Amino acid sequence: MVIGLLLVSQCAPKIHYGYITNEQSLTELATRSDNNKDRKACSDPLSYAPYNHLLHPIRTVRINVHFMNSTSREHNFDEKTGPKYFHNLLNVANDKLSRNQKMNLPHGNDTDVLDPQYRYELWPIKNHNDGYLYHYDDELCFFVNKGKNKNNYNKDVIKKYAIGTDSILNIFVMPHHPDSLATGKYRASRTGIALGTSLKVAGLCENREKPWEFSTLLNHEIGHIFGLSHSWYKNDGCDDTPVHANCWAPNNTEKCKDPVSNNMMDYNNSQMAVTPCQLGKIHKTFASINHQLRGLVVPNWCNLDESQTIRIQEDDVWNGALDLSYNVVVEAGASLEIKCRVSMPRNSSITVEPGGTLILNDCRIHNDCGDEWKGIKLKNTKRETAKVEYHGDVLIENVQQDI
Ligand SMILES: [Zn+2]
């Protein structure tokens, strides 16, 4: 037994640790290289596309729902039917997101199909509401998207009734105006408009039999909230959403021959496909540290989740900002280059194994939640060391200094 222990201790290489916890220890333990600033780093939406679920865990967008009605209470769902309808709609919208489909266009494309990695959750405010709110207001309750009384872009109803707008996406369910409907020329269409961190939607109570029919429009409107444009245009900022005629469904005309678009951000009878670039744009908004829309997402990157570890086993580059939930280990023979902002969860660390390389390139590593993390741990043996290189301005923040 004693011999066995001796053998083990003789064979196991002795490990010396080094810790990078701030800019000073960085200059002491890392090698400075020429600044090869990558000006495009951090901006390309594709760098944020949720290919790797360890880097892009599922995000939860908080929502609440305001049912707007007249004081006569005859123009919208009542307080029993409204929540029932919307609960159903929300479930179908989340389910449709989870079943993202392959793009129809361009014909023969090989565009990847990713899980969008975000869902919506009804968000009650404790002792105040259950996530559903009701307002009876003859002046502000109606929605008009055509004619001289058009008010679809007007924010008065939001200004008066929205709550928790820094952390909750407020959805206003509004009836179309009865005077507009009475003209006979105005349709109670299913429609919506994204205004900042709030959304006005109409046509639900007039078409109440099938809540699921509104689900993809909800996904479309929330897509607008998080920065997506209509994708049939050329300038939507994504190469994987081709220009097309924006047909509702295929027909016998040359313009709308089969296949037509099924993208979520077009007007078609499917709206079931969302591309890597579009998802990248949404996740880029989630990761934009000073963006007001980031506040709508539950910050589940604050606490360390030890059920998994991000293991770098081949050369990898992080070109987009990340909010991580796990420890990171750069293994022997592999390298990791970090080019943007990375938030590390409380008490987490980045470990570089002997023979592993970490390259810090004009990046910022911090904790976004007002807590501290444990910094970069270098494991060295007599034979092999952990290498860290840095370029340009590197910020290492919020690290416990008593290691
Ligand atoms: Zn739209």
Centre of ligand 1 from the C-alpha of residue 319, in Å: 29
pLDDT > 90? residue 209: no
Average pLDDT over residues 137-162: 96
Q: Which of 167-176, 204-213, 371-380 has the lowest average pLDDT? A: 204-213
Round to whole Å and give the CA distance between 58 and 51. Answer: 12
Backbone angle region of 370, left / alpha / beta, with phi > 0 → left and psi within -120 to 50 → alpha: left
Share of the chain above pLDDT 70, in %: 97
Residue 298: predicted pLDDT? 98
pLDDT of residue 5: 43
Own/partner contacts of 161-167, CB < 8 Å, gap of 24 or more, are: 161/66, 161/68, 161/133, 161/135, 162/66, 162/197, 162/198, 163/64, 163/125, 163/128, 163/133, 164/64, 164/123, 164/125, 165/196, 165/197, 165/198, 166/197, 166/292, 166/295, 167/62, 167/123, 167/295, 167/296
Reply yes or no on whether the pLDDT at 337 is more than 60: yes
Q: What's the pLDDT at 202?
A: 97
Closest CA relative to residue 305, chosen from 290, 320, 323, 318: 323
Measure 220 CA to ligand 1 centroid, in angstroms.
6
pTM of the model: 0.94
Which stretches of 140-192 are DSSP H helices?
156-161, 178-182
> Given this structure, which CATH class describes domain 58-286?
alpha beta
What's the pLDDT score for residue 115?
Answer: 98
What is the secondary structure of 300-332 as a DSSP string?
Answer: TTSS--TT-EEEE-S-EEE-S-EE--SEEEE-T
Q: How far is the CA of 265 from the centre of ligand 1 (A)?
A: 6
Place of tokens 């990791």: 336
Q: How confident is the model at residue 10 (pLDDT cuts 50, 70, 90)?
A: low
Indicate whether 303 pLDDT > 80. Answer: yes
Per-residue pLDDT averaged across 136-147, rounded? 96
C-alpha of residue 130 to centroid of ligand 1, in Å: 29
Distance between Cα 272 and ligand 1 center (Å): 14
Contact 339, 318 (CB under 8 A): yes
Mean pLDDT of 37-58: 92
* 159 Cα to the center of ligand 1, angstroms: 22
pLDDT in tens, 73-129: 999 999 999 999 999 999 999 999 999 999 999 999 999 999 999 999 999 988 888
Expressed in angstroms and rounded, the spacing between residue 217 Cα and the centre of ligand 1 is 8
Q: Residue 300 carries which side chain, given as an amino acid letter?
A: N
Query: Domain map of the chain by residue range?
Result: 13-44+301-396, 58-286
Per-residue pLDDT tens over the stretch 210-262: 888 899 999 999 999 999 999 998 889 999 999 999 999 999 999 999 999 99
Distance from the CA of 295 to the center of ligand 1, in angstroms?
23
Query: Which pLDDT score is estimated for 3?
Result: 44
pLDDT of 272 strictly over 90: yes
Please give the distance, rounded to the nearest whole angstrom, from the Cα atom of residue 234 to the centre of ligand 1.
15
Return mean pLDDT, the chain: 94
How many angstroms separate the alpha carbon of residue 204 from the centre of ligand 1? 16
**% of the chain exceeding 90 in pLDDT:** 90
